Structure 1
């Protein structure tokens, strides 16, 4: 009996293979601190018997996904900026109210109520702002993305019009 006959036959699902290859490629890239060229990508696909057409389709889909990821990152930054602006507004208003209360009677009494309400509002706003797994967040993103795309289209159209007028 040959020694190779005693080894169990390993089998993997497609998802298992994807995860194993992803980990191996990540380690290789981080060990060598390099990127892969398009030719290397094509070579890997050939070795895995992936047709060039399928590779092109997958690359196109990946490019679209990367664009979506970039849009979502930009939206998150926009929301963080808006959140920090609101915190600044609440801070200024409450500081003013606390100062008026303190100067009016050399103690702080009634100004604590608006302060507590503001803290509650900031907490709820923060929860809604940073909880990305909600339908509301997705709707806000879609709305922001449409506005962003419309603004981009308008700017493109305007620049073309200016070039035509000046050209």
Structure 2
């Protein structure tokens, strides 16, 4: 049975996408048994006809994507943390207003109005927080990244100025 399977697969040419998927599966199996060395990676690339320059460029792109993925995870974590804090504030303030409203007026109209309006805004914030795709997400991530980079740059400049003043 195995021979008939090999016979059926052997003559058919592979599409590039199919070849990539087969190689990914093979790489995953190889990774299960241990790590690849740079030499093994270079050898595989050479066997596939990938030039050393293309391999270096691909590695740089991979590193860049890995850094961006890590930053996006940090960004998402900060957004979720801020949303949780805002949700807790909402619960505390509206609980207080509800009790105050019940004690003072025997009704809940005032507290309910605030809870509904604030809740609408909080719901929209939650939707934005957990939406991790699209233009709005990418713009928010870019702004966060730029703010983080500017903060880091300003911190470095301040450190240099303070060190210069101490010298």
Name the TM tier (shorter chain).
0.7 to 0.9
Please name the residue that 2:49 is paired with.
49
Matched residues in 1 for 2:61 and 2:81: separation? 30
Matched residues in 2 for 1:85 and 1:160: separation? 35
Please name the residue that 1:35 is paired with.
35
**Following TM superposition, by how much is the alpha carbon of 1:50 offset from its aligned partner in structure 2, in angstroms?**
1.5
* Structure 1: gaps spanning 5 or more residues: none
Is 1:93–2:93 an aligned residue pair?
yes
Is 1:139–2:132 an aligned residue pair?
no
**TM-score w.r.t. structure 1 length?**
0.81
**Following TM superposition, by how much is the alpha carbon of 1:163 offset from its aligned partner in structure 2, in angstroms?**
4.9
SS in 2 for 1:136: helix
* Structure 2: gaps spanning 5 or more residues: none
Q: 1:42 to 1:115 in 2, by over 3 A?
A: same
Count matched residues: 161
**TM-score w.r.t. structure 2 length?**
0.81
Matched residues in 2 for 1:160 and 1:140: separation? 30
The counterpart of 1:13, out of the listed 12, 15, 22, is: 15
**Following TM superposition, by how much is the alpha carbon of 1:109 offset from its aligned partner in structure 2, in angstroms?**
4.6
1:100-142 Cα offsets, whole Å, 9 max, x none, are 0222255645422222333322222111221122322211111
C-alpha RMSD of the superposition:
2.4
Higher relative contact order at CA 8 Å, sep ≥6: structure 1 or structure 2?
A: 2
